A = this chain, B = another copy of it.
Amino acid sequence: MSRMKRLNLINNHLSSQFPPIPYDESLDNYRKKGEDVNKEILLRHFFRDSYERIMAYRNHMANDPVFNHNDEAEFSRERKRERIIQQIASIYFKANLSYESCKEEFLKKYELLYTLCDYDIGLATRLLIHLVLYINAIENLGTSKHIEHIKRAYHLLDYGCFGMTELGHGSNVAKLETTATYDHIKREFVINSPTATSAKWWIGGLGKTSNMSVIFARLIVEGVDKGINAFVIPIRDNQTHDCPPRVIIGDCGKKIGLDGIDNGFILFRNYRVPYDSLLDKFSSITEDGKFKSSIKNKEKRLGIMMVGLIGGRVAVVCAAEQHMKSALTAALRFSAVRKQFSSTETENSVLDYPLQQYKLIPHLASIFAIRSIVLWFNENMPIIQKKIDENPEGLEVSEFHAILSACKGVASWYANSCVIQCREATGGLSYSAYANLGRIMMNASVGVTWEGDNGVLIQQTGKFILKQIQRTFKGHIIDAPTLKCIQVDHEKVMQFKARFENSEQLENESILFEIIEFRLNYLLHQSMMRLQEVTGNSKDMFDAWNKSQVYYIQELAKAYGEYIMMREYAKFVRELEEKCEKTGKVIRKLFILFSVGIIERNLASFQDSAMNAHQAKVVRDSMVRLCEELAEVCIKVIDAIAPPDSIHGSVLGAADGQVYAKLIEQVEKADGVYDKPHWLPLLQKVKQVKKT
């Protein structure tokens, strides 16, 4: 034991009511097990060019006491919000963000947001709404006259929010009720909320913080509805923070998580804004009062409005990885430390149990799948942003949108189930707030519904794939590069038999890809057959489409997302192997587990035609064995990617493995731990205790 460790133990003991806690070597012992992992190589491969900057931010955060989860455990809503402003004040200007620097280095602002999200998605989102949703909307939909808004925003002279969702409409943006009526005489827009359900709702940063907002409203020109357009408008006075007359802003109140974000609502009572508020890259109104747009189709115009959501959706994918990473840091390290049962005197670490391994290790494998696709997004986002300017209706844009929609869904579902599983697998102690798993559960929960409800969003992926195959009916080829594996011939798809008889064959990368590509084809053909089958007794195509979601189009979209992730994961592993063979070998095993895991979760549909009972058994055996082998090395892997203790904030995930000591320390620090309750007189009254 090092001198520092010993001093810490003595120090804690002196102020504690607990018997001395001997140094727990369980985690250290686990670290000695299994294959080698070069942690730095792995982490640099994980973060790529962002490595230095993320590390610098982490370092800053570790040294500022304003970043401390357990401090915040019992904060009220307003205190949490204040704390986030303190945190932003602490770190924001270190990043030196400006219009120019963010143009030059696309990832710059995302690196800051990523590090903040490792701490808490509430903190990151509070800033992301401003830095990504607000700024990118202006950048994507506005013109040069709007650049000044962006510049002010980067310097935090303005704080902006993103007013799209309304109380009555989230997914169906086309039905938003807020109106912006063009007044040609004054060349102004009159913004109005005609109904209660038209109140902009859940707008992050609106409740208490922002003075500016991008507002999406139905543009009315000469009495004609021109569809949804975006406007950048002031909503509070920068000096007094008062709302202008005819603008009502309120707070959406207590939430089940993320209380640090001041979600608000806004109502407009015929609020007038100047013409230049209109973000007019695609649509504008001529000097003589006529509406004009470079995109004729109203639906497609709406599609373009959604461009601003790309950054937010990539952030959801990214956050999924981060939630899983923090949750698994706690769950895996604690599982190594926690002892329960054995057939001998010394109890086993719960991580030694196959049941525990099976609960946790597949999620560890998924982290790298998500990270791999995030790296792809990081690379492709700037390219796509340009393509959108050139040809917003082009194939690359649609394909990117299909991939992002599917991956946003898949990744957030992964995170949700991972975090829930981590909470369950760590038993009673994770019900403590100091384990920080409850916070992460609620953070992960929102991921499946915000930035596009998963079930609705992935239907767009389904549409993209089905449109691609429909091209072949008209004699065209499938032109989306990610769908080259599509097999048009139905008979061929149905004849496919998975080519493995044992684990070794199954775990071969090309066999795995064959199977996963088959899955995509199978679900595509099944979906088409389903659509045909239900069309007869459906009111219309919309109805048939809805009847083909469960088991079919939803699954097809997920399959596509997982296929794309797997492709990027394979690349991630190949490139890592080039940097460090040993580390690459470990992550390759996680890649195989990830792929076999997809098969296992979908065994029923594979057994429809492509696999037999023996193969199903091989799949199950592989799962258990891979989990067992990887359990040996999982602590090293999570060590490599885990955020520092002060950032994940879980006593269960303490890097030094002194879990019980850390928990007791937090518990003894809490307010009133050894005090009588203030409600003792009431209790005594109920218990009929006579006053002495």
Residues of A bordering B, CB below 8 Å: 17-21, 73-74, 76-78, 81-82, 85-86, 88-89, 92, 155-159, 165, 167-172, 175, 193-199, 202, 208-209, 238-239, 241, 248-258, 262, 265, 267, 339-343, 347, 353-355, 358-359, 416, 420, 423-424, 427-428, 430-435, 437-439, 441-442, 445-446, 448-450, 453-455, 539-543, 546-547, 549-551, 554, 603-604, 607-609, 613, 616-617, 620, 623-624, 660-661, 663-664, 666-668, 670, 672-674, 676-680, 682-689, 692
Contact = CB atoms under 8 A, between A and B. Distances in A.
A483 to B, nearest CB: 24
A506 B355 CA distance: 33
B449 A428 contact: yes
A199 B663 CA distance: 13
B197 A660 contact: yes
10 contacts: A170-B428, A171-B341, A171-B427, A253-B670, A254-B433, A255-B432, A265-B667, A428-B450, A550-B623, A604-B604
Nearest to A194: B19
A428 B453 CA distance: 8
A604 B600 CA distance: 9
Instruction: Give the top 4 A-B pairs by smallest Cβ distance, nearest first.
Output: A256-B438, A343-B542, A603-B604, A254-B433
Nearest to A612: B608
B682 A89 contact: yes
B82 A679 contact: yes
A112 to B, nearest CB: 15
A243 B433 CA distance: 26
A253 B435 CA distance: 12
A357 B33 CA distance: 48
Contacts of A252: 432, 667
Contacts of A21: 195-197
Nearest to A82: B679
Given A159-B687, A209-B683, A239-B689, A17 B254 contact: no
Nearest to A438: B256
A82 B667 contact: no
Contact of A672 (B78, B258, B267, B543): B78
Given A238-B689, A428-B170, A551-B624, A17 B248 contact: yes
B441 A256 contact: yes
A682 B82 contact: yes
Nearest to A494: B613
Nearest to A692: B239
B620 A551 contact: yes
A692 B241 CA distance: 13
Contact of A549 (B347, B355, B454): B355
